[in-house]
Chains A and B, each alone.
Chain A
Amino acid sequence: MTTNSPYEHHEYDVLIIGAGGAGLRAAIEAKQRGLKVGIVTKSLLGKAHTVMAEGGMAAAMGNVYSEDNWMVHFRDTMRGGKYLNNYRMAELHAKEAPDRVRELEQWGALFDRTKDGKILQRDFGGHRYARLAHVGDRTGLELIRTLQQKVVSMGTDVFMECKVLQLVHDSSGRVAGCVAYWRANGEFVTFSAKAVIMATGGVGKSWKFTSNSWEGTGDGHAMALWAGAKLIDMECVQFHPTGMVWPLSVRGLLVTEGVRGDGGVLRNSEGKRFMFDYVADMFRAETADSEAEADRWYDDHTAGRRPPELLPRDEVARAINAEVKAGRGSPHGGVFLDIATRRSAEVIRRRLPSMYHQFMELAGVDITREAMEIGPTLHYIMGGVQVDAETAGTAVPGLFAAGEVAGGMHGANRLGGNSLSDLIVFGKRAGAGAADYIAGGDVANGFDQGEVESAVREALAPFTRENGENPYDIHRDLQEMMQANVGIIRTASEVEEAITKLEEFTERVQNISVKGGRAYNPGWNLATDLPSMLTVSKTTARGANLRKESRGGHTREDFPGTDVNLAKVNFSHSITGGWAGEITTVESPVLEIPAELKSLLEEAK
């Protein structure tokens, strides 16, 4: 394809935006299909948020409990997602995850082993059987390094510290590439591609308390929406129940659910193990009703029912919130997570080595001796770009999405461990989907230079304004507002106020001034992030307003129950007129589950 781009220009068959687990897995697939693949990442290779995942990746391999199979995993995933999931994604995920995990070993991954030399699997909240392949508590690092090294060995082009600003179309609306800028020198660069895969991760940086790295600004969500794709389930945001609230140096750091899987319990300021008071009816049959029964379960899963500390994340988060609101919280607004009195120091150090190391070094907290102070922290967004389960294709021809940026797989709430497996299952599918799309031959045949120019103009505008606002001030105010108004527990008046305030933020962002030059300027970079953050926040606030029920990661104080009618819809957002334009939200029916799969869910109820 010829372009008359005045900027540095590159051409690929498949261009992947984002170099986390999903992007790298997609690259491997597209490369194996013989395509020319480029990866653009706004950080260095190997630094993506995937490295933060600790617990493991869920796959029904049955190495520890031979009773496990894809049907149980499917059931657990749908149940965790409160049936809002794209069932087909959940089905494919459960079926394909074991092969995706095993193939990582061909590329160098070294998981912890069972006694007979298979991949060891650990227990996690919401999973009926021990199912998470893991490496101590650094499984995300293992995944990213394995995929990174495979991608490098295949000779793939990686554009590091290169931030994509906007997608570019051809004249008939197919995706044709994107425009980006190099962080090192601030120069613009354009990429044309027959297919683009969005693999940009999450949105956490719009909230005050989050485990997400600076990268989680929702770029991919926003760019896909601006380009014509739909976002669904944006109100479904997961707050990890156990993020550190104190000391400051570790605020926002997550304490892996593995701590609870290995015997850690939650206590309030009175020392009470309070989770027994918060077991919802739907989980009562399989949850222990006494401490003695729960404690038997850790050593032998047939000797007692599961401890309530291992209920799904949203149940645990709500319980913690209720304890804090009732005045039984810890001094800094959380509750206590205690493994110190439950397991020997030696066991803790062996089972949770990096957790132990992290708190010791960073905060001077010895988790073998004292309880941790923890509370709900924004961790993950279930909502995202609406995709076709088989191909990861979006509503825009030539645009694909995989990983956290895609919506549907996790429904209203994601189970721990299902994220890493999501990345490799749908990363591969996106790579294959893009390859099939290209093989179909009907790909972009132009590159709209006008879109490039308007993105460049917008990006440079903050340099030309005098006496505008500091982007850091807007970011801080946005985080405070979203935390207060669209946080873990929501109510009509607060969410409506958020919707109004987000329009004020839009005006403020249009009046940003940036100091300094274009080379590696973090203030400018933040200025280019804010339109994405606002777009994402608006869809989350709108979804939160419309979903007048509590379901999974979305909790309404004024509508505490579930609504059977709302179980049948995803709220779907589209936009016209650029990032500051008009958002339209409609009800989109949840995919009908075929009878044979429905029976798997019925059995479990």
Chain B
Amino acid sequence: MTDVTMKVWRGDASGGAFENYSVTQQEGEVVLDVIHRIQATEAPDLACRWNCKAGKCGSCAVEVNGKPRLMCMTRMDTLPEGPVTLTPMKTFPIIRDLVTDVSFNYAMAEKVPALLPPPMPEGGYVMFQEDVERSQEFRKCIECFMCQDVCHVIRDHEDNKQHYAGPRFFIRTAELEMHPLDTNDRREFVREEMGLGYCNITKCCTEVCPEHIKITDNAIIPLKERVVDAHYDPVAWLGRKIRRKTKMSSTEAAVQPAP
């Protein structure tokens, strides 16, 4: 098999540089296999994040030749010939080498108003397959945060993180809004606090999603439509004021007693 040069970014918040590792490629290997081999031999302190090595946990996202990829799902033999460049995700602060600080996403997750279902009837809820399928698509998300990494609203503008949640949290909100049991209303939240309006539908997020979730078409665009209807239609606005409860915060929703 052939030798390949892995150009791996090494360093921390104070700076760093590429280091080259020459490895012999073996049949059927993915990028993460090669990184593990480098760790076990030349560079035992090379930092990378990974867990399942099966494309199910979303831990090992880095940028392979400049594009966000899961290392465990990227076959070496699918990459173009020549050196393979590995860099940490650009949108998030560096911890070390290929590991970034993704706490932005966990802070955002805390803000999303929780599911607010009606009390469970005897024998459980009745929901039909066609009604659960829409939200099921979004619940396939493995939280690799590659959609966040590639979204230029925060990739290229650090200060937008103050008022923009990113694609992961648009599908999370869409999932809850389309959940058959939900009675919460997040439309003002998604407009005002998650900055949905900043998204200009370039579909970069959809392209990188390893679960092939149609983030833009099935979550962002329908959410934008709902928000527009809610915000600008005076009849809908009045109706909402009259019929619906005030939106609960996630903490309030969480303390709803569980039967």
Contacts and interface: CB of A to CB of B under 8 A. Distances in A.
Interface of A: 32, 43-49, 51-52, 61, 102-103, 105-108, 110-113, 116-119, 135-136, 138, 140-142, 145, 149-150, 152-155, 158, 160, 184, 211, 213-215, 246-250, 252-253, 357-358, 361-364, 470-473, 476, 514-517, 519-524, 526
B124 interface: yes
B81 interface: no
Given A246-B28, A249-B30, A514 B44 contact: yes
Nearest to B210: A361
B57 A213 contact: yes
A47 B59 contact: yes
Contacts of B40: 470, 472-473, 476
Contacts of A103: 120, 258-259
Interface residues of B, number: 67
A184 B95 contact: yes
Nearest to B172: A149
Interface string B125-139: 111110010011001
B142 A44 contact: no
A65 to B, nearest CB: 16
Contact of B253 (A51, A153, A361): A153
Interface in B20-60: 26-30, 33, 39-41, 44-59
B19 to A, nearest CB: 13
A116 B140 CA distance: 24
A247 B76 CA distance: 13
Contacts of B117: 105-106
Contacts of B46: 522
Contact of B258 (A48, A52, A106, A113): A106
B127 A46 contact: no
A105 B45 contact: no
Contacts of B141: 145
Interface of B: 12, 26-30, 33, 39-41, 44-59, 73, 75, 95-97, 99, 101-102, 106, 109-110, 114-115, 117, 120, 124-129, 132, 135-136, 139-143, 176, 179-181, 212, 250-251, 253-255, 258-259
**Chain B interface mostly helix, strand, loop or mixed?**
loop
B29 A113 contact: no
Contact of B52 (A136, A213, A470): A213
22 contacts: A44-B59, A47-B58, A49-B51, A52-B57, A110-B127, A110-B135, A110-B179, A116-B126, A138-B140, A150-B254, A155-B251, A158-B106, A160-B106, A215-B51, A247-B28, A248-B27, A358-B55, A361-B55, A516-B45, A520-B47, A522-B39, A522-B44
Contacts of B75: 249, 362-364
A522 B45 contact: yes
A471 to B, nearest CB: 7
Contacts of A358: 54-55
A106 B119 CA distance: 8
A470 B143 CA distance: 33
Nearest to A109: B139
B132 A113 contact: yes
Nearest to A361: B73
Contact of B30 (A43, A48, A362, A476): A362
Contacts of B181: 105-106
B52 A153 contact: no
A471 B51 contact: no
Contact of A153 (B57, B212, B250): B250
B47 A47 contact: no
A71 B149 CA distance: 50
Nearest to B115: A108
A252 B250 contact: no
A110 B139 contact: yes
B71 to A, nearest CB: 11
Contact of A113 (B44, B51, B129): B129
A105 B124 contact: yes
B28 A249 contact: yes
Contact of B126 (A49, A118, A516): A118
Contacts of B143: 46
Given A43-B51, A119-B124, A524-B45, A248 B258 contact: no
User: Residue among B27, B45, B47, B97 with the most chain A CB within 10 A?
Assistant: B45
A102 B124 contact: yes
Nearest to B249: A153
Contact of A51 (B47, B57, B136): B57
A362 B74 CA distance: 7
Given A517-B45, A522-B46, 13 more contacts: A47-B58, A51-B57, A102-B124, A102-B125, A103-B259, A105-B125, A106-B259, A111-B132, A141-B142, A153-B250, A153-B251, A362-B73, A472-B40
Contacts of A364: 75
Contacts of A363: 28, 75
**Would you list the 7 A-B pairs with minimal beta carbon distance, nearest first?**
A516-B45, A523-B44, A247-B28, A248-B28, A117-B126, A153-B254, A472-B40
B51 A47 contact: yes
Contacts of A473: 40
A249 B96 contact: no
Given A110-B136, A248-B28, A249-B75, A51 B142 contact: yes
B53 A252 contact: yes
Contacts of B58: 47
A214 B39 CA distance: 14
A514 B45 CA distance: 8
A249 B135 CA distance: 31
A472 B39 contact: yes
A112 B47 contact: no
Contacts of A361: 55, 73
Contacts of B54: 52, 211, 253, 358
Contacts of A521: 44-45, 47
Contacts of B125: 102, 105
Contacts of B140: 138, 141
Nearest to B47: A520
Given A135-B139, A213-B53, A523-B45, A152 B124 contact: no
